[in-house]
Amino acid sequence: MSESDTTELAVSPELIATSEVFTGITRQHGKGSRAWTLYPFAYIIIINYLIFFWCLHRFVIERRLMPWLIGPRYRDLPEAKKRTATNHLMNILWKVVALFGFFPFIMTVVLGHSMRERMPSGHVTYGDILCLDYMLFVTGFVWELVYRSRISFVTALHHLVAIFISTLAVFMMLTDRHGQEGENYLQIIFVYGFFEVFFETGPHVCMLMYTRDRGNSKKLKRSFLIIAIMSFTGTFLEQFAIFFLYAKHFKTWDWSIKILTPIIHVCFASAQIHGGRIFLSMSRKMAKEHAANTSLERGVKESEQQEPDGSKLTTTVTIIEG
């Protein structure tokens, strides 16, 4: 290799940028902070999460939890409905586990601490904990897309967009030399995750209740109505949080992110509104069933009271299966 070639390699911007990406993993950034450590290994984290999801489904949820939770009728359900119900339980579990990122979320997104800062005890940064947390969301969405036999277009669109922006955020974190652009975009993703946990876990609980207590239309109509109200409320509040962060960090992004973010937000909001409308419709359906069952029971009682000899009236009752 000639001296000119060596000089060219030494000053190559591409080599400098690549070197800073990987050597910056352990570089110190002042007292109480350091560079990211986990974002370059996002792929490895997701793969290990998927392995854990499979083992949990195969050996615990399908064999133990679902028969105990749903009852004997679980084994008689069609395979597609079994997978749907099992997936609802898995969504509940991983969203509850995702609460371990609540403290770093408050410290960074709400109180304004840098994600590069170390937590009060130990050498782990807020950003590392949040990385583990939101990779759990990505894994949950990937698992649902693969595991469920049937999935609606709206749900699939929501999950695919969520996976896309997660990969985009990791790319920004690894290529942005200053780190601020990617960190600001991650704040928006974490806000989506916050509302996903606190306002989108209830629907999974409600659908499990629907599978287990299908005949209890009185309880189901109230449950579906509460979930619909929560979904609309969460969507409404989410608009303020997202647009506040969007306006706050607008100057730090290039135009591709400035244009892409509102489009992605419309996809998420549309999916949430669609889900709320479905649960509102289910509440009305359960209300009609409850009214029909109540009217039928009242008619049976009146008929029994009109029997002159006091004998019971034999009546065939048809249960509305919807």
- Kindly list the domain boundaries of the chain, sorted by start residue: 35-295
Q: What's the average model confidence in pLDDT over 201-217?
A: 91
User: Closest Cα to residue 100, out of 58, 128, 68?
Assistant: 128
Rounded-to-integer distance, Cα 243 and Cα 37, Å: 29
Rounded-to-integer distance, Cα 282 and Cα 231, Å: 14
Whether the pLDDT of residue 19 is over 50: the answer is: no
> Does 207 or 28 have the greater pLDDT score?
207
- Each residue's pLDDT tens digit, 241-264: 999 999 998 888 888 889 999 999
**Residue 34: φ, ψ to 5°:** -160, 175
pLDDT of residue 6: 45
Whether the pLDDT of residue 17 is over 50: the answer is: no
- Each residue's pLDDT tens digit, 42-99: 999 999 999 999 999 999 999 999 999 998 889 889 999 999 999 999 999 999 999 9
Q: How far is CA 198 from CA 61, 75, 135, 192, 202, in A?
A: 23, 31, 18, 10, 8
- Each residue's pLDDT tens digit, 120-146: 877 889 989 999 998 999 999 999 999
User: Closest Cα to residue 161, out of 249, 240, 266?
Assistant: 266
Give the chain's count of helices (H) and strands (E). Answer: 12, 0
Contact by Cβ (8 Å): 84, 55:
no
Q: Kindly report the CA angle at 229 between 156 and 99, in degrees rounded to 5?
A: 65
